[in-house]
Structure 1
Amino acid sequence: MSRPPPFAEATITLADPAGPEAQHCLSAYFHELDRRFPGGFDPGPPTDPARYRPPLGAFLIASRNGRPLGCVALSIPDAEVKRLWIAPEARGQGLARHLMAAIEDQARAMGLARLRLDTNPSLTEALALYRSLGWSEIPRYNDNPHAQAWFAKAL
Protein backbone atom coordinates (compact mmCIF):
# COMPACT_ATOMS: atom_id res chain seq x y z
CA MET A 1 0.00 0.00 0.00
CA SER A 2 1.37 3.43 -0.92
CA ARG A 3 1.79 6.18 1.61
CA PRO A 4 -0.39 9.30 1.07
CA PRO A 5 1.49 12.47 0.10
CA PRO A 6 2.52 14.66 3.03
CA PHE A 7 -0.03 17.37 2.22
CA ALA A 8 -2.79 14.83 2.96
CA GLU A 9 -1.51 14.76 6.53
CA ALA A 10 -1.36 18.56 6.78
CA THR A 11 -4.07 20.59 8.46
CA ILE A 12 -5.03 24.02 7.16
CA THR A 13 -6.33 26.39 9.82
CA LEU A 14 -7.22 30.04 10.23
CA ALA A 15 -4.46 31.60 12.32
CA ASP A 16 -3.54 34.87 14.00
CA PRO A 17 -1.01 36.59 11.70
CA ALA A 18 0.81 37.89 14.78
CA GLY A 19 1.08 34.42 16.35
CA PRO A 20 4.34 32.46 16.53
CA GLU A 21 3.48 29.99 13.73
CA ALA A 22 2.52 32.80 11.37
CA GLN A 23 5.63 34.77 12.27
CA HIS A 24 7.76 31.69 11.60
CA CYS A 25 6.19 31.34 8.13
CA LEU A 26 6.50 35.04 7.33
CA SER A 27 10.12 35.17 8.43
CA ALA A 28 10.97 32.21 6.19
CA TYR A 29 8.96 33.78 3.34
CA PHE A 30 10.81 37.11 3.56
CA HIS A 31 14.17 35.35 3.87
CA GLU A 32 13.44 33.34 0.72
CA LEU A 33 12.39 36.43 -1.23
CA ASP A 34 15.58 38.17 -0.15
CA ARG A 35 17.61 35.20 -1.37
CA ARG A 36 15.79 34.79 -4.71
CA PHE A 37 15.14 38.35 -5.88
CA PRO A 38 17.91 40.05 -7.81
CA GLY A 39 19.09 42.81 -5.50
CA GLY A 40 17.39 41.26 -2.46
CA PHE A 41 14.05 42.01 -0.85
CA ASP A 42 13.06 44.77 1.54
CA PRO A 43 9.66 44.03 3.11
CA GLY A 44 9.31 47.66 4.18
CA PRO A 45 7.51 48.62 7.35
CA PRO A 46 5.69 45.78 9.12
CA THR A 47 2.17 45.13 7.88
CA ASP A 48 -0.54 45.66 10.47
CA PRO A 49 -1.63 42.10 11.42
CA ALA A 50 -5.26 43.31 11.51
CA ARG A 51 -5.09 43.41 7.70
CA TYR A 52 -5.09 39.60 7.73
CA ARG A 53 -7.64 39.04 10.52
CA PRO A 54 -11.40 38.77 10.06
CA PRO A 55 -13.29 40.85 9.09
CA LEU A 56 -10.49 42.57 7.12
CA GLY A 57 -8.83 39.39 5.93
CA ALA A 58 -7.63 35.92 6.77
CA PHE A 59 -4.33 34.14 7.41
CA LEU A 60 -4.14 30.40 6.83
CA ILE A 61 -1.40 28.07 7.99
CA ALA A 62 -0.80 24.52 6.83
CA SER A 63 0.85 22.39 9.48
CA ARG A 64 1.66 18.80 10.23
CA ASN A 65 2.45 17.41 13.67
CA GLY A 66 2.47 20.96 15.07
CA ARG A 67 5.03 22.19 12.55
CA PRO A 68 4.05 24.98 10.13
CA LEU A 69 4.64 23.96 6.51
CA GLY A 70 3.09 26.88 4.66
CA CYS A 71 0.91 29.94 4.73
CA VAL A 72 -1.21 32.27 2.63
CA ALA A 73 -3.01 35.50 3.47
CA LEU A 74 -6.05 37.39 2.20
CA SER A 75 -6.71 41.11 2.41
CA ILE A 76 -10.44 41.74 1.93
CA PRO A 77 -10.32 45.51 1.25
CA ASP A 78 -7.83 44.90 -1.58
CA ALA A 79 -9.37 41.55 -2.64
CA GLU A 80 -5.75 40.39 -2.69
CA VAL A 81 -3.96 37.12 -1.96
CA LYS A 82 -0.59 37.65 -0.27
CA ARG A 83 2.28 35.75 1.34
CA LEU A 84 1.96 32.27 -0.20
CA TRP A 85 4.89 30.27 1.14
CA ILE A 86 5.66 26.55 1.40
CA ALA A 87 8.51 25.08 3.47
CA PRO A 88 11.22 23.59 1.23
CA GLU A 89 10.62 20.05 2.52
CA ALA A 90 6.90 20.26 1.63
CA ARG A 91 7.28 21.59 -1.92
CA GLY A 92 6.21 19.65 -4.98
CA GLN A 93 3.54 17.73 -3.09
CA GLY A 94 0.40 19.79 -3.80
CA LEU A 95 0.30 21.79 -0.59
CA ALA A 96 0.38 25.17 -2.36
CA ARG A 97 -2.64 24.11 -4.43
CA HIS A 98 -4.52 23.18 -1.28
CA LEU A 99 -3.64 26.47 0.42
CA MET A 100 -4.76 28.43 -2.65
CA ALA A 101 -8.05 26.50 -2.79
CA ALA A 102 -8.57 27.15 0.93
CA ILE A 103 -7.92 30.89 0.62
CA GLU A 104 -10.28 31.08 -2.37
CA ASP A 105 -12.95 29.30 -0.30
CA GLN A 106 -12.29 31.75 2.54
CA ALA A 107 -12.66 34.70 0.13
CA ARG A 108 -15.99 33.36 -1.17
CA ALA A 109 -17.22 32.90 2.39
CA MET A 110 -16.24 36.52 3.10
CA GLY A 111 -18.25 37.76 0.11
CA LEU A 112 -15.58 38.26 -2.54
CA ALA A 113 -16.25 37.34 -6.16
CA ARG A 114 -12.79 38.13 -7.60
CA LEU A 115 -9.24 38.04 -6.27
CA ARG A 116 -5.95 39.58 -7.35
CA LEU A 117 -2.31 38.96 -6.56
CA ASP A 118 1.10 40.16 -7.59
CA THR A 119 4.36 38.27 -7.91
CA ASN A 120 7.90 38.44 -9.19
CA PRO A 121 9.24 36.51 -12.20
CA SER A 122 12.00 35.07 -9.98
CA LEU A 123 9.27 32.92 -8.41
CA THR A 124 8.84 30.66 -11.43
CA GLU A 125 7.01 28.00 -9.42
CA ALA A 126 4.43 30.57 -8.29
CA LEU A 127 3.87 31.79 -11.86
CA ALA A 128 3.29 28.22 -13.04
CA LEU A 129 0.99 27.48 -10.10
CA TYR A 130 -1.21 30.54 -10.58
CA ARG A 131 -1.59 29.89 -14.30
CA SER A 132 -2.44 26.22 -13.68
CA LEU A 133 -5.11 27.25 -11.17
CA GLY A 134 -6.91 29.50 -13.64
CA TRP A 135 -5.45 32.87 -12.68
CA SER A 136 -5.13 35.29 -15.62
CA GLU A 137 -2.51 37.97 -16.09
CA ILE A 138 -3.86 41.50 -15.71
CA PRO A 139 -2.37 45.00 -15.95
CA ARG A 140 -0.46 46.40 -12.98
CA TYR A 141 -2.84 47.35 -10.15
CA ASN A 142 -0.47 48.43 -7.38
CA ASP A 143 2.87 50.08 -6.75
CA ASN A 144 4.66 47.09 -5.19
CA PRO A 145 8.27 47.71 -6.26
CA HIS A 146 9.06 43.98 -6.26
CA ALA A 147 6.10 42.90 -8.41
CA GLN A 148 6.43 42.47 -12.13
CA ALA A 149 3.44 40.22 -12.78
CA TRP A 150 -0.18 40.69 -11.73
CA PHE A 151 -3.00 38.15 -11.80
CA ALA A 152 -6.74 37.95 -11.13
CA LYS A 153 -9.27 35.16 -10.78
CA ALA A 154 -13.05 35.20 -10.70
CA LEU A 155 -14.39 33.03 -7.90
Structure 2
Amino acid sequence: MTLEVRTVPADIPEVDELLDAYLDEREATFPSAQGTYSRKRTPAAEFTPPNGVFAVAYDDGLAVGCGGLRRIADDTAGDRPDVRFEVKHVFVTPAGRGKGVATALMDTLEAAAAELGATAIVLDTNDSLVAAGAMYRGRGYERVHPFNDNPNATAWYRKPVRR
Protein backbone atom coordinates (compact mmCIF):
# COMPACT_ATOMS: atom_id res chain seq x y z
CA MET A 1 0.00 0.00 0.00
CA THR A 2 1.26 3.42 -0.98
CA LEU A 3 -0.96 5.96 0.76
CA GLU A 4 -0.94 9.57 -0.40
CA VAL A 5 -3.27 12.35 0.77
CA ARG A 6 -3.70 15.34 -1.52
CA THR A 7 -5.76 18.48 -1.21
CA VAL A 8 -7.91 18.75 -4.31
CA PRO A 9 -10.78 20.85 -5.68
CA ALA A 10 -13.99 19.51 -4.11
CA ASP A 11 -15.75 19.29 -7.48
CA ILE A 12 -13.53 16.74 -9.24
CA PRO A 13 -15.05 13.39 -10.32
CA GLU A 14 -13.41 11.22 -7.64
CA VAL A 15 -14.78 13.51 -4.92
CA ASP A 16 -18.27 13.12 -6.35
CA GLU A 17 -17.86 9.33 -6.40
CA LEU A 18 -16.55 9.22 -2.81
CA LEU A 19 -19.26 11.54 -1.48
CA ASP A 20 -21.99 9.57 -3.27
CA ALA A 21 -20.64 6.36 -1.69
CA TYR A 22 -20.49 8.08 1.71
CA LEU A 23 -24.06 9.35 1.51
CA ASP A 24 -25.31 5.99 0.21
CA GLU A 25 -23.65 4.14 3.10
CA ARG A 26 -24.89 6.59 5.73
CA GLU A 27 -28.42 6.43 4.37
CA ALA A 28 -28.36 2.61 4.37
CA THR A 29 -26.95 2.32 7.91
CA PHE A 30 -28.64 5.29 9.60
CA PRO A 31 -30.39 4.27 12.84
CA SER A 32 -34.10 3.94 12.05
CA ALA A 33 -34.99 5.20 15.54
CA GLN A 34 -33.62 8.60 14.50
CA GLY A 35 -35.90 8.89 11.50
CA THR A 36 -34.85 9.46 7.92
CA TYR A 37 -31.27 10.33 6.99
CA SER A 38 -30.94 13.84 5.57
CA ARG A 39 -28.81 13.56 2.40
CA LYS A 40 -27.02 16.88 2.36
CA ARG A 41 -23.73 17.61 0.69
CA THR A 42 -21.74 20.71 1.59
CA PRO A 43 -21.23 22.92 -1.50
CA ALA A 44 -17.78 22.44 -3.05
CA ALA A 45 -17.12 26.20 -2.91
CA GLU A 46 -17.01 26.03 0.91
CA PHE A 47 -13.89 23.85 0.68
CA THR A 48 -11.84 26.47 -1.17
CA PRO A 49 -8.87 28.27 0.45
CA PRO A 50 -8.74 30.46 2.45
CA ASN A 51 -12.09 29.25 3.77
CA GLY A 52 -11.38 25.53 3.58
CA VAL A 53 -9.80 22.58 1.82
CA PHE A 54 -10.82 19.15 0.60
CA ALA A 55 -8.55 16.13 0.82
CA VAL A 56 -8.58 12.78 -0.96
CA ALA A 57 -6.56 9.75 0.11
CA TYR A 58 -5.15 7.57 -2.66
CA ASP A 59 -3.90 4.01 -2.21
CA ASP A 60 -1.71 3.10 -5.18
CA GLY A 61 -3.55 5.76 -7.19
CA LEU A 62 -7.07 4.61 -6.24
CA ALA A 63 -9.22 7.11 -4.30
CA VAL A 64 -10.04 5.38 -0.98
CA GLY A 65 -11.09 8.21 1.31
CA CYS A 66 -11.93 11.86 1.64
CA GLY A 67 -12.70 14.67 4.02
CA GLY A 68 -13.27 18.38 3.97
CA LEU A 69 -12.62 21.38 6.15
CA ARG A 70 -14.61 24.61 6.02
CA ARG A 71 -14.66 27.86 7.94
CA ILE A 72 -17.79 28.41 10.00
CA ALA A 73 -18.85 31.35 12.16
CA ASP A 74 -16.49 32.23 14.97
CA ASP A 75 -17.60 31.31 18.47
CA THR A 76 -17.64 34.66 20.24
CA ALA A 77 -18.73 33.32 23.62
CA GLY A 78 -16.14 33.27 26.36
CA ASP A 79 -13.00 35.30 26.96
CA ARG A 80 -11.33 34.60 23.62
CA PRO A 81 -13.28 34.03 20.43
CA ASP A 82 -12.65 30.80 18.53
CA VAL A 83 -11.83 30.94 14.84
CA ARG A 84 -13.57 27.70 13.92
CA PHE A 85 -13.10 25.33 11.03
CA GLU A 86 -15.42 22.34 10.72
CA VAL A 87 -14.44 18.87 9.51
CA LYS A 88 -17.04 17.45 7.10
CA HIS A 89 -17.63 14.27 5.09
CA VAL A 90 -14.79 12.11 6.43
CA PHE A 91 -15.24 8.81 4.64
CA VAL A 92 -13.09 5.78 3.91
CA THR A 93 -14.18 3.17 1.39
CA PRO A 94 -14.40 -0.46 2.52
CA ALA A 95 -11.20 -1.16 0.55
CA GLY A 96 -9.33 1.53 2.49
CA ARG A 97 -10.51 0.71 6.00
CA GLY A 98 -8.07 -0.50 8.63
CA LYS A 99 -5.09 0.99 6.79
CA GLY A 100 -4.69 4.35 8.54
CA VAL A 101 -6.55 6.29 5.85
CA ALA A 102 -8.81 8.19 8.26
CA THR A 103 -5.83 9.11 10.43
CA ALA A 104 -3.91 10.40 7.40
CA LEU A 105 -6.93 12.42 6.27
CA MET A 106 -7.41 13.94 9.73
CA ASP A 107 -3.68 14.78 9.94
CA THR A 108 -4.01 16.68 6.66
CA LEU A 109 -7.21 18.48 7.65
CA GLU A 110 -5.90 19.47 11.07
CA ALA A 111 -2.66 20.80 9.58
CA ALA A 112 -4.68 22.80 7.04
CA ALA A 113 -6.84 24.24 9.82
CA ALA A 114 -3.73 25.49 11.62
CA GLU A 115 -2.35 26.99 8.40
CA LEU A 116 -5.66 28.74 7.72
CA GLY A 117 -5.68 30.38 11.16
CA ALA A 118 -8.10 28.19 13.11
CA THR A 119 -8.02 28.29 16.89
CA ALA A 120 -10.46 25.36 17.11
CA ILE A 121 -11.58 22.48 14.92
CA VAL A 122 -15.14 21.26 15.36
CA LEU A 123 -17.13 18.40 13.89
CA ASP A 124 -20.35 16.53 14.36
CA THR A 125 -21.04 12.84 14.03
CA ASN A 126 -23.56 10.21 14.96
CA ASP A 127 -22.99 7.98 17.99
CA SER A 128 -23.80 4.97 15.79
CA LEU A 129 -20.43 5.56 14.10
CA VAL A 130 -18.53 4.03 17.00
CA ALA A 131 -15.12 3.85 15.29
CA ALA A 132 -15.34 7.48 14.17
CA GLY A 133 -16.19 8.69 17.68
CA ALA A 134 -13.33 6.67 19.15
CA MET A 135 -10.90 8.08 16.58
CA TYR A 136 -11.97 11.68 17.27
CA ARG A 137 -11.70 11.25 21.05
CA GLY A 138 -8.31 9.57 20.58
CA ARG A 139 -7.15 12.62 18.65
CA GLY A 140 -8.07 14.95 21.52
CA TYR A 141 -11.56 16.03 20.48
CA GLU A 142 -13.94 16.62 23.38
CA ARG A 143 -17.72 16.52 23.29
CA VAL A 144 -19.39 19.92 23.33
CA HIS A 145 -22.88 21.32 23.12
CA PRO A 146 -24.36 21.30 19.60
CA PHE A 147 -23.01 24.11 17.43
CA ASN A 148 -25.35 23.41 14.50
CA ASP A 149 -28.73 21.87 13.80
CA ASN A 150 -27.57 18.87 11.74
CA PRO A 151 -30.48 16.41 11.97
CA ASN A 152 -28.13 13.45 11.40
CA ALA A 153 -25.83 14.30 14.31
CA THR A 154 -26.02 13.08 17.89
CA ALA A 155 -22.53 14.14 19.01
CA TRP A 156 -20.55 17.36 18.56
CA TYR A 157 -16.82 17.69 19.19
CA ARG A 158 -14.19 20.43 19.50
CA LYS A 159 -10.41 20.38 19.58
CA PRO A 160 -8.18 23.40 20.15
CA VAL A 161 -5.58 23.99 17.48
CA ARG A 162 -2.04 23.76 18.78
CA ARG A 163 0.45 26.14 17.24
Query: 1:129 and 1:55 mapped to 2: Cα distance?
Result: 27
TM-score (normalizing by structure 2): 0.85
Query: 2:59 and 2:132 mapped to 1: Cα distance?
Result: 22
User: What residue ranges of structure 2 are gaps of 5+ in the alignment?
Assistant: 74-84
Partner of 1:20: 13
Q: Which moved more, 1:34-43 or 1:140-149?
A: 34-43
1:101-121 Cα distance to aligned partner (Å, 9 max, x none): 110001101111211000001
TM-score (normalizing by structure 1): 0.89
Aligned-pair RMSD on alpha carbons? 1.3
Partner of 1:61: 56
Q: CA deviation at 1:77?
A: 2.8
Moved over 6 A (4+): none
Which amino acid in the other structure matches residue 27 of structure 2? D
Q: CA deviation at 1:94?
A: 1.4
Query: 1:48 and 1:119 mapped to 2: Cα distance?
Result: 19
Q: Which SS does the other structure have where 1:107 is aligned?
A: helix
Query: 1:66 and 1:42 mapped to 2: Cα distance?
Result: 31
Q: Report if the CA contact (8 A) 2:51-2:116 is conserved.
A: no
Paired residues, what number? 147
Q: Report if the CA contact (8 A) 1:30-1:41 is conserved.
A: no
Q: Report if the CA contact (8 A) 2:68-2:89 is conserved.
A: yes
1:30-74 Cα distance to aligned partner (Å, 9 max, x none): 011111112352214x53210011122100000123210100100
Query: 1:95 and 1:131 mapped to 2: Cα distance?
Result: 17
